[in-house]
Amino acid sequence: MDLMNCISEATQEIFQSMLAFEVQPGAPLVERQKMFRDTVSGMVGMAGLYRGMLAIHVPNAIAKNITSTFLCIEVEDIDDDVKDAIGELANMLAGSVKSMLTDNGKDVKLAIPSAVCGREYEVECLADGDGVVVPFQLEGGEFLVECFLQK
């Protein structure tokens, strides 16, 4: 399984089809980022043949732009709409990765997406297993998509 390519393909496809945003993947990070500042993180747990987590970490300004595009409204503050939109992006990404991991996608179950935000917070995940953190560039900045799995 090439998790880097799964993440890259899924992210580019979803951002293009759902938001009409072009995003470009960068080289995977050597070290996982744990601390986030002024960011919204959407996360989805995975269980079954593979267990772990997929997360997307989006700076506030980009999160507001994504939500504005999703909902066709002007978003000025980080609110429940923004957290829901980023959580739903994480859900779509996890669903795409899930379908790439197994032949029928039924061997992996997804948890209900969640989202957190704040001035400063930390996100922990599996200590062992396969994982990748991929930065993506889009107009206005950069965001991260990470996935860590154990088989």
Residue-wise pLDDT for 97-112, tens only, equals 998 887 766 788 999 9
**What confidence score (pLDDT) does residue 53 get?**
93
Selection from 134, 133, 117 nearest residue 125 by Cα = 133
* Domain boundaries along the sequence of the chain: 3-26+35-150
Instruction: Report the alpha-carbon distance of residue 135 to residue 151 in Å, rounded.
Output: 24
**What confidence score (pLDDT) does residue 11 get?**
96
Cα separation values, 56 from 8, 41, 81, 106, 143, Å: 12, 6, 16, 23, 7
Residues of the chain below pLDDT 70: 1, 104-105, 126-128
Name the pTM for this structure.
0.93
Burial 128-137 (b: 16+ CB within 10 A, else e): eeebbbbbbe
Q: Which fold has domain 3-26+35-150?
A: Chemotaxis protein chec (3.40.1550)
